[in-house]
């Protein structure tokens, strides 16, 4: 049986979702809780266990990148013990997760050289194709298609329900970081679109980036969704003062109408097909509650933010 290490939480989640976790032997410290209970963490980060603010994290990552320092490292002894046939890595972001270059350096001295497969989606369709890539590498391609058929049915149900309701698109702003303020990119704008919204501040199928507060005020969104990468709702709440202190916060339409929502990051910035579909279902219920209900299993993944 092929042995796999996943250096991406999203890949780990999809392996579990597709019932292929028996192939999985090594994971990262950021992988889903079930995987961390059952598999050996082989990727660590120098910020692991630290409780830095958004600003401190941004400065640390920026300075480290300028100096050529690597933030992630591999437990090479543990990796050698596993002796994987395949390692799933990524080249989309060297800030959030370990990249292929760093991984290649770590495996260079292994007796058995694993195949490195980069999973680097840019848009929503890429994420679905990634599931096929993962399953195909394990000679289980048909499992991916069965998995994706069910997910496509759920997305189509959301789209059809919103169309039938004739609800107009909501003007949305989804933030991936708070200090500095980042818009959303990659597949997230597509999630928003499927859910019956539009975020003209976003960068579909491209990297997220810093946006100005003045532009946000001019845009004046109807709904604001806050999902900083890697942050739980509790951690995000501890930094909401960064927005509350901004001039004009109270005047935003989303604030006036109490349409500001905090969500767990994994429904948006973790690129596993199933969690992104969960995110679409959640957003649809937030944007158009008169047309579609939020599934009960997702009720604990968001909360409304009331403060002015």
Kindly state the percentage of the chain with pLDDT values over 90: 77
pLDDT digits (tens, 9 = 90+) for 128-142: 999 999 999 999 999
* Chain segment 182-238, per-residue pLDDT in tens: 999 999 999 999 999 999 999 999 999 999 999 999 999 999 999 999 899 999 999
Residue 96 has pLDDT above 70, yes or no: no
pTM of the model: 0.93
Q: Please report, for residues 124, 164, 194, the alpha-carbon distance to residue 152 in angstroms, rounded to integers and kept in the order given.
A: 12, 18, 11
The predicted structure's pLDDT at residue 121: 95
Q: Name the nearest CA neighbour of 14 among 109, 167, 146.
A: 146
Average pLDDT over the chain, rounded to whole?
A: 92
DSSP state of 276: H
Cis peptide before 180 (omega within 30 of 0): yes
């Amino acid at each position: 049986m092929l042995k796999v290490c996943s250096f991406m939480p999203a890949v780990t989640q999809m392996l579990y979702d597709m019932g292929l976790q028996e192939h999985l032997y090594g994971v990262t410290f950021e992988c889903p809780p079930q995987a961390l209970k059952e598999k050996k963490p082989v990727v660590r980060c120098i910020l692991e266990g630290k409780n830095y603010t958004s600003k401190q994290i941004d400065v640390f990552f920026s300075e480290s990148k300028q100096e050529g320092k690597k933030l992630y490292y591999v437990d090479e002894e543990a990796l050698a013990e596993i002796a994987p046939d395949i390692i799933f890595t990524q080249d989309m972001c060297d800030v959030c997760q370990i990249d292929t270059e760093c991984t290649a350096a770590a495996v260079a001295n292994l007796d058995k050289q694993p195949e490195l497969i980069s999973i680097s989606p840019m848009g929503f369709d890429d994420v679905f194709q990634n599931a096929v890539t993962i399953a195909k590498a394990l000679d289980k391609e048909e499992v991916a298609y069965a998995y994706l058929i069910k997910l496509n049915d759920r997305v189509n149900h959301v789209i059809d329900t919103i169309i039938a309701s004739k609800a107009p698109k909501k003007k949305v702003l989804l933030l991936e970081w708070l200090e500095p303020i980042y818009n959303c990119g990659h597949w997230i704008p597509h999630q928003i679109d499927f859910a019956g919204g539009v975020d003209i501040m976003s960068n579909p199928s491209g990297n997220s980036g810093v946006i100005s507060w003045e532009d946000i005020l001019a845009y004046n969104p109807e709904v604001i969704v806050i999902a900083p990468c890697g942050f739980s709702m509790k951690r995000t709440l501890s930094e909401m003062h960064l927005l509350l202190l901004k001039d004009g916060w109270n005047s935003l339409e989303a604030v006036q109408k109490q349409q500001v929502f905090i969500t767990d990051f994994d429904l948006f910035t973790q690129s596993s097909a199933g969690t992104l579909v969960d995110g679409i279902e959640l957003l649809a219920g937030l944007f158009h509650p008169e047309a579609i209900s939020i599934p009960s299993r997702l009720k604990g993944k968001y909360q409304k933010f009331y403060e002015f």
